[in-house]
Structure 1
Amino acid sequence: MSTSLLNAENLYIPRPEFPHPHWQRQHWLNLNGPWSFRFDPDDEGAQNHWSTDQAVPFDAEIQVPFSWASPLSGIGKDVKGIGWYRRVVTWSPTVSGSRLFLRFGAVDYVCDVWINGCHVGSHQGGYGSFEFEVTGVWQMDGSNTILVRAEDQDHSYQARGKQGYGEIRGIWQPVWLEARPQTYIKDAKFRTYMDGRIEVAATIMADQAGTAEFTMDFADHTVRHTLTAELSAGENQLNTCFIVNDPQLWSPDTPHLYEGVLKLGGSFGLDQVATYFGIREVGTAAFGDRGYRWITLNGKPVYLNGTLDQSYHKTGYFTYPSDEEMHDEIYLMKRLGLNFVRIHIKPEEPRKLYWADKLGILVMEDMPCFWGNPDEKARQAYEQEALEVIERDYNHPSIFSWVMFNETWGLKTDPKEAGVTGDIGRQSSYLPETQEWVREKYRWAKRLDPTRIVEDNSPCNYDHVETDINTWHFYINGYEQVRAHLDDVVSKTYPGSPFNCIGGNVQSDAPLMNSECGNVWGIEGGAGDSDLAWHYRYMMNEFRKHDKLCGFVFTEFRDVINEFNGYYRLDGTGKEFGYDAFVPGMTLADLHSPDFIVLDAPPCRTISAGEQAVVPMLRSSFSDRHHGQRLTLKWELWHDDLGVRTVVDSGLLKVDWEGYGVAPLSALSLTMPDRDAVAVLAVSLMDTAGQTITRNFITFDVRSGEAGGYAAEGGGVQIPVSSFAEQTFEHHWTSIQGVKVSGAGKGRFIYDVALPGIAEQNAIYDIEILFEAGAKRVLARNIEGSIDTDMGIGAMHGADAKVEYNPNTYYMTDEEKHPSRLNVLIDGEKIGSFVLPDDPADSRGVLSWHYQPVANKLDEAGSYGYLCRLSVPVQMTAKLNRSRTFRLELEAEEGGLALYGRNAGRYPLDLLIRYNG
């Protein structure tokens, strides 16, 4: 599926692989690489005949296939307008008498092409693939000049999608030449059935009438079928059917592809196309006595664990630099246990869809939206583009759904832009006539492709018209808020309900699924760059509680330039969710298991020491793998007793795993530890072989009620971290309601410590100092103050999130570390030091999350430190036994210091001085 990294002129070729691996011919030439380039801001090229004047100087070089706005293009200028490309090529097909086609993966937006001064064609649309036959103008024995004029003016009628992260301008997908015989296979569509029946609808272009043999040869010649056809000159439609014995079905778990060739032979010669298909059926069905449907794959329910993919790269923008990076995108999704991805407001590059087919992940592919009024010009442009996309991507088994519109973008009519007069107060609105156009496009897509689920509009405004799948968006933060919202949506979802519909339309029994969620926009002013692990776990738990819900789309797969809610950073580096600190071995994939244990309880609950807590549990099954088995639920209540993992109680439950959907299990009754603690209920579901199927957890803030909080053995003094006597940092501040203190850079927090007097404690023989501390990554807002930014719709177009000024920002733990060294001094004498590896924030910061006062405003949420404990040297202990007072200094050398008190961080303690005598 690849070619040399050097072309005939010995020029380096980026993206050397065949661009459309689902439809590949043997004789082709990759035209990626350096082209001459020139901007044309005044549109003088057309008037001055640049297309025919070889002497016109082109003053720059551009790397195709990268948008001229992107760094990888070598131009890197985000300017709309006109760009001209020129390339001189010498190439002739191997087979004499072949027809020659110049093919473009995509060009944004209007494209005109000349070969040797002859105009060979025009195309409009930024995402569809297109081609021009150039046989009659190509010099087979000499050099040829290819000239491309690309114009991108960002007109409101253009189907641009969400390009604001980085504009796709001009040529932005591969360009290649392709040779074909005089009669050739133009297209073939495969419709597959679980029983192995394969229907094929092929289009043949014949230069003259005659007899031809059309052969399908797949799976190393084990699947073969031949059809003899009488062709007429011009376009011919061939329809045939064959059977695959013992069909191997395609799914994310078993992405089996039938790879092979289509051959068309006759007096004209032989045309051969390498292609593939996957056998699978997508549908919806009701199970049992339910009055609603679930999404099905191959006749069985499938729970869709999905993510929103902006498909954006920091250097290539929407063009991936290499095939390997497209492969790795799918790999990175699958390693999280995800089984599906929604490509957001754009069709995906065919090579990435190939890797989705090959590696196995379901794809929901969006049509690109326009941003102006839905007038006739916009509708025509959209319809043309949508047709190209569906026609091109029809054969990818990974694609299970087409989304025609998103969040009503481009569907609301602005009366001013539309020239409406006499109704000045009228708001932009989703007009009834536009609703009917959307219904028409939904039905049109169903006729064009009856094999897939089609959605009219993926809504955030509860405005479906007619759809195969009943989805909605929400961006809400806070456990109680998310729980109440999901309960409300589920209760309002039933056949005949007007909820989530517009214009008098009502719901059918279509499957209920979330198609966007997350806390990136569920927080006032946006979440900035903050921890998502805490929110994510309880949101997954609430989703799986509802039998009607059959999937979700989390925003998003990677961070982008102004949204930082990704599982990964933009460069692909990982984030630490911290779940394995609660349940050994637990990862994000545990939350995406088709068989899942719901803990129907808050992520953390304040409770008294020794109190009993009842935790309801449910099982959620969207796989029949373990049906009919008795599984084992292992549970454990434990807490970290200042560095010692202490199990309070544990047990095993036998669980009958029967049937799809959600059903109650026996509740757990737990007795809390008898001291201050962050207690963890950890559960693991195991199969009959003892292998773990899924893991989950909740936490409890156990409070003893004793003065000072933590019950210290022997004796102890606890000092709130905010009650320092002095500090020497240039910048310092308190957070989380005053129970966390931070200092930027180098400096000290100084505490005056008073030990018990001799009357209370006759002798003190040993002293131990314990506290929780982390480094401090200083943000711009820590120094200059925060800035509240309402980006509005600009957020969809790449507006600057001012992340370091965002009051909600506290960087989630990731692969980039920010260490600090901490020295501990008593009365000016250093007694020890610690290396604080990082300034982390993730689900391990239980108390920092639990004591957030407002759900949609974050105050260093999820931040935590490391348990620091050291013993005071014996000689100094003897001195302190006499004085009973000392000055404790916690000094950061360079990397700053954060100190966590009782209601912040990971450990339920303030600065603790333990002693015994």
Structure 2
Amino acid sequence: MVTEAMTSGTATMPRPEYPRPDWQRSEWLNLNGVWSFRFDPNNEGIGHCWQTIDETAYDQAITVPFSWTSPLSGIGKDVKGIGWYRRTLNWKPSEAGSRIFLRFGAVDYSCDVWVNGAHAGFHKGGYGTFEFDITDTWKPDGDNTIVVRAEDHDNDYQTRGKQGYGEIRGIWQPVWLEARPQAYVRDAKFVTSLDGRVDLTVAVQAHKAGPAELTLRFAEGAVTHTQQLTVSAGENKITASFTVNDPQLWSPETPYLYEGEIRLSGDFGLDTVSTYFGIREIGTSRFGGRGYRWITLNGKPVYLNGTLDQSFHPTGYFTYPSDDEMRDEIFLMKRLGLNFVRIHIKPEEPRKLYWADKLGILVMEDMPCFWGRPDEIARAAYEHEAREVIDRDYNHPSIFSWVMFNETWGLMSGDMTPGLASDITKRDGFLPETQQWVRDMYRWAKRIDPSRIVEDNSPCNGDHVETDINTWHFYINGYDQVRAHVSEVVEKTFPGSDFNYIGGNVQTDAPLMNSECGNVWGIDHGAGDSDLAWHYRYMMNEFRRHDKMCGFVFTEFRDVTNEFNGYYRLDGSDKHFGYEAFVPGMTLADLHSPDFLVIDAPPSQTVEAGENVTVPLLRSSFSDRYHGHTLKVSWELHYDNLGTRTVADRGIADAAWDGYGVAAIAPLTVGMPKQDAVAVLAIRLLNEAGETVTRNFITFDVRGGEESGVYDAEGAFVGIPVGSFAGNSFSHQWEAIQGAKVNGAGHGKFVYDVKLPDQSVQEFIGDIEILFEASAKRVLTRNVEGVKEQAMGVHYMHGAAANVEHNPNTYYMTDDELHESKVNVLIDGERIASVSLPDDPADSRGVLSWHYQPVANKLDEAGSYGYLCKITVPGRVAAVLDRSRNFRLELEADEGGLALYGRNAGRYPIDLLIRYR
């Protein structure tokens, strides 16, 4: 039995809020919470009348609305097949004569429902919302029993989408009861125009004919419309139009919603639905005489900075535990400066779409795919699901695009395995008749929703048929490789080109954008878990230097079970990109600015000390905010001089900011330091008030020309390569980055024999300082057990989990989890100092660890770096060393281990240095 606490919206009920804030009634009862449950492995439930048997026959309890596979369900078993749900409750609507509906957010995959033993209805499809009118079987003054039989076998024809991380099985979105009068508004669809005109199509369901009045009231009464109707028994289609004066447009920057209600009144009573609409127009258009289009929002070009969202949660799987977590998802995206998200191969939960509407982020929503072959059964199932998705989500202003298919999944009839293809021309199995079906689906979606952009197939195999946007996927690592690939795609994109198309179809002037990118699959065996900050920054520069490109989708928003390329960890915790160390105040949002400064140069390059280097710059503008203005480019070349931040060069220059798109501005010529350094060219774009619009940077590996390095500091130096240790006592020890980095696991030490110059070179040695770059050493499984390769077939596309630490490319990116170590520094057996190493980090600050990677798609502790340690040798010890000129240096780590970085690894361009004077 349902208790009062379970229906009162307290913390004991999961997801207590109304499931559809875009279409909400006040008379309702939330049925989330504990239901009785039973698996039916032998499909005997119907034959044994489980729909009518006593609750004691159900042997488990399940928490709705969570998939029975998920931890939050209380079951937590990935069992295919049949599950039965049962719940008894009493509820009476406040208005006598109300009709009662039992509503389901989604059930995967098919379900039958009984109320008080009477069959209420059947539904098939894992993502669509549905309802049953149960008025005739509901007992307003007594107990009522609801029984649901859900069946999920992962059939090839099922629209499964990107399940596999955690399966959706059974009820996985909220369930609720709802009361309505005898005539009610079943649906309404809004189409808005920038001049304020709103056209509305309203579906009214009536149980008898009669007069009625339709009233629209929004924006606290500022927008109203009333019209008289005569409704017929059954379904009625009614059109209405009104104009909003001084319309406030919806956009990610100003997500204005006209909130209000639709009322239908008559002698049957009053039906009131709370809803909202946003005034915005999505389109594509040419600008400035170009032969290609850009995507537009409200008539203006918009650069789409987007991410791929798998919408997966570790405890609820594809069902969010709370409304707050759905809201926070949108907040975390906007915090990065993103303005759009691609929901990957599934429709999003309505409440998360509400937060996208409310907080302001554009949504590209995919249709869920099937994974079998495109036979008649699969096509029919898909078409039914697509209709439900578009019908449910039509009014969300945040949704700007429907994606009908992804990477030809479910479209192959031959032997080709769906998924990633390294050869864009590999198209076997995508038959002409299937291509025609894809075209039909594209045109069908355009017919029923001409207000949005529709994409036929988001391709990795170069197989568009007909589409509003020309997108492509790539997963390539390495600056030169990414630059060449993006340039090739841009050059081959023009009206009439057959590049990225199939079956004799050719490109139109449709906008070009990327719809999946990242380095997670561009690495041999997959990237595992690795720093993405370095790759991400140069990829953004490559995208923004091309005038044709108008957006991207980065894979992905959060890590998932087999992909660790997220901006955030799976639990939502931060990764640390480290950009602020190069340009104060810089974050990821700077790389997503609509007004952007492109540094048209590699992320790092080797130069000679004192050299003058010319750096090309481009402006990329997809906002008219500063058009016609003269902005300032403020730049500074700085470097770390053995712990002291030093500015080598700086300046400020004017930049005319006129018009949309990409154009060259004056290059910078900068003078390099006259010593070994990692030099940073940090630039800021300033508006006329001196406020920062965006930030960017590149780095230089400055070589002084001497083997031991050249440093502008008082005293002289002895340089000792970190790999030249005389011995070590670690249980496990290895080298990385071509020997420029040495690692020791757990407790142990590295021992170095140090020889200072004799008296003929340096008569007196007064002060001695020891400098080295070091970090803790997080030991991975592969460091001990060796590398284990994982096959990347269809099961991997389904989200098969892997032990990431077996991956040869894994090195955890810096995040909130710290791995500390402590190092004692000993001279001739005497401890002279101790150093705390806070972490074993890897991110964009590991410039040299990235710069000296020998192979772009095989990572060797890429991005790893340490902390600059400076140890002053006590005077009494220095006096002894002045006499002996030789000593034994020991760097002894506790259980946190030790990594030492040489001249060509880490963050600082030094070997182990002994400074004396």
**Is 1:737 the counterpart of 2:734 in the alignment?**
no
- Is contact 2:751–2:890 with CA below 8 Å preserved after alignment? yes
- Is contact 1:330–1:361 with CA below 8 Å preserved after alignment? yes
1:296-375 alignment runs, 5 A limit: 296-375=296-375
Partner of 1:811: 812
- Is contact 2:165–2:801 with CA below 8 Å preserved after alignment? no
1:734-883 alignment runs, 5 A limit: 734-883=735-884
**Is 1:397 the counterpart of 2:397 in the alignment?**
yes
Distance 1:11 1:360, change over 3 A: closer
Partner of 1:423: none
Residue identity in the other structure for 1:824: V
Local SS of the residue matching 2:228: strand
Residue identity in the other structure for 2:827: I
Residue identity in the other structure for 2:762: Q
Measured after TM superposition, the shift of residue 415 of structure 1 is 6.5
- Aligned residues, how many? 906
Local SS of the residue matching 2:220: coil
**Matched residues in 1 for 2:784 and 2:707: separation?**
35
Residue identity in the other structure for 2:552: F
Measured after TM superposition, the shift of residue 91 of structure 1 is 0.3
**Matched residues in 1 for 2:236 and 2:145: separation?**
33
Cα deviations by residue, 1:121-157 (Å, 9 ceiling, x for unpaired): 0000000000000000001110001000000000000
**Matched residues in 2 for 1:247 and 1:9: separation?**
36
Cα deviations by residue, 1:656-713 (Å, 9 ceiling, x for unpaired): 1110000000011111111000011000001111110000000000001112124364
Measured after TM superposition, the shift of residue 800 of structure 1 is 2.6
**Matched residues in 2 for 1:428 and 1:637: separation?**
52
Distance 1:29 1:378, change over 3 A: same
Cα deviations by residue, 1:23-72 (Å, 9 ceiling, x for unpaired): 00010000000000000000000111111233660000000000000000
**Matched residues in 2 for 1:850 and 1:55: separation?**
66
**Is 1:92 the counterpart of 2:81 in the alignment?**
no
**Matched residues in 2 for 1:309 and 1:707: separation?**
48
Cα deviations by residue, 1:207-231 (Å, 9 ceiling, x for unpaired): 1111111010000011000111111
Partner of 1:280: 280
- Is contact 2:416–2:429 with CA below 8 Å preserved after alignment? no
Partner of 2:161: 161
Cα deviations by residue, 1:224-283 (Å, 9 ceiling, x for unpaired): 001111111111000010000000000000000000000001111110000000000000
**Is 1:888 the counterpart of 2:897 in the alignment?**
no
**Matched residues in 2 for 1:143 and 1:468: separation?**
53
TM-score, structure 2 length as denominator? Answer: 0.98
Local SS of the residue matching 1:391: helix
Cα deviations by residue, 1:496-532 (Å, 9 ceiling, x for unpaired): 0000000000000000000000000000000000000
Distance 1:509 1:11, change over 3 A: closer
Distance 1:4 1:661, change over 3 A: farther
Partner of 2:708: 708
- Is contact 1:415–1:427 with CA below 8 Å preserved after alignment? no
**Matched residues in 1 for 2:503 and 2:803: separation?**
39
Partner of 1:67: 67
1:595-634 alignment runs, 5 A limit: 595-634=595-634
- Is contact 2:9–2:17 with CA below 8 Å preserved after alignment? no
Residue identity in the other structure for 2:848: L
Local SS of the residue matching 1:245: coil
Residue identity in the other structure for 1:778: V
Distance 1:416 1:682, change over 3 A: closer
Residue identity in the other structure for 1:733: W
- Is contact 1:710–1:909 with CA below 8 Å preserved after alignment? no
Measured after TM superposition, the shift of residue 12 of structure 1 is 2.5
Distance 1:843 1:415, change over 3 A: closer
Which range moved further: 701-710 or 688-697?
Answer: 701-710
Partner of 2:902: 901
Local SS of the residue matching 1:295: strand
- Is contact 1:11–1:33 with CA below 8 Å preserved after alignment? no
Which range moved further: 404-413 or 787-796?
Answer: 787-796
**Matched residues in 2 for 1:56 and 1:460: separation?**
52
Partner of 1:558: 558
- 5+ residue gaps, structure 1: 418-425
Residue identity in the other structure for 1:878: A
- Is contact 2:820–2:839 with CA below 8 Å preserved after alignment? yes
Cα deviations by residue, 1:370-398 (Å, 9 ceiling, x for unpaired): 00000000000000000000000000000
1:400-479 alignment runs, 5 A limit: 400-414=400-414, 429-479=429-479
**Matched residues in 2 for 1:789 and 1:123: separation?**
39
**Matched residues in 2 for 1:428 and 1:318: separation?**
33
- Is contact 2:414–2:429 with CA below 8 Å preserved after alignment? yes
- 5+ residue gaps, structure 2: 418-425
Distance 1:550 1:381, change over 3 A: same
1:182-197 alignment runs, 5 A limit: 182-197=182-197
- Is contact 2:828–2:887 with CA below 8 Å preserved after alignment? yes
Partner of 1:670: 670
Partner of 1:722: 723
Partner of 1:225: 225
**Matched residues in 1 for 2:210 and 2:636: separation?**
76
**Matched residues in 1 for 2:802 and 2:458: separation?**
25
Residue identity in the other structure for 2:529: D
Partner of 2:421: none
**Matched residues in 1 for 2:4 and 2:877: separation?**
73
- Is contact 1:92–1:141 with CA below 8 Å preserved after alignment? yes
Local SS of the residue matching 1:615: strand
**Matched residues in 2 for 1:882 and 1:261: separation?**
90
- Is contact 2:68–2:170 with CA below 8 Å preserved after alignment? yes
- Is contact 2:414–2:430 with CA below 8 Å preserved after alignment? no
Measured after TM superposition, the shift of residue 794 of structure 1 is 1.9
Distance 1:638 1:4, change over 3 A: farther
- Is contact 1:5–1:14 with CA below 8 Å preserved after alignment? no
**Matched residues in 2 for 1:379 and 1:548: separation?**
35
**Matched residues in 2 for 1:476 and 1:654: separation?**
36
Partner of 2:529: 529
- Is contact 1:638–1:645 with CA below 8 Å preserved after alignment? yes
Cα deviations by residue, 1:70-120 (Å, 9 ceiling, x for unpaired): 000000000100000000010011100000000000000010000011001
TM-score, structure 1 length as denominator? Answer: 0.98
Distance 1:888 1:225, change over 3 A: same
- Is contact 1:635–1:684 with CA below 8 Å preserved after alignment? yes
- Is contact 2:55–2:86 with CA below 8 Å preserved after alignment? no
Identity of aligned pairs, percent?
Answer: 71
Residue identity in the other structure for 1:803: V
Distance 1:4 1:194, change over 3 A: farther
Which range moved further: 608-617 or 513-522?
Answer: 608-617
**Matched residues in 2 for 1:762 and 1:251: separation?**
73
Distance 1:428 1:109, change over 3 A: farther
- Is contact 1:791–1:801 with CA below 8 Å preserved after alignment? no
- Is contact 1:555–1:565 with CA below 8 Å preserved after alignment? yes
Measured after TM superposition, the shift of residue 427 of structure 1 is 9.5
**Matched residues in 2 for 1:595 and 1:16: separation?**
42
Distance 1:752 1:402, change over 3 A: same
Residue identity in the other structure for 2:798: H
**Matched residues in 2 for 1:111 and 1:897: separation?**
57
Query: Pairwise CA RMSD of aligned residues?
Result: 1.4
- Is contact 1:38–1:85 with CA below 8 Å preserved after alignment? yes
Measured after TM superposition, the shift of residue 13 of structure 1 is 1.3
Measured after TM superposition, the shift of residue 5 of structure 1 is 6.7
Which range moved further: 128-137 or 46-55?
Answer: 46-55
Local SS of the residue matching 1:709: coil
Local SS of the residue matching 1:462: coil
Distance 1:750 1:55, change over 3 A: closer
Partner of 1:420: none
Partner of 1:146: 146
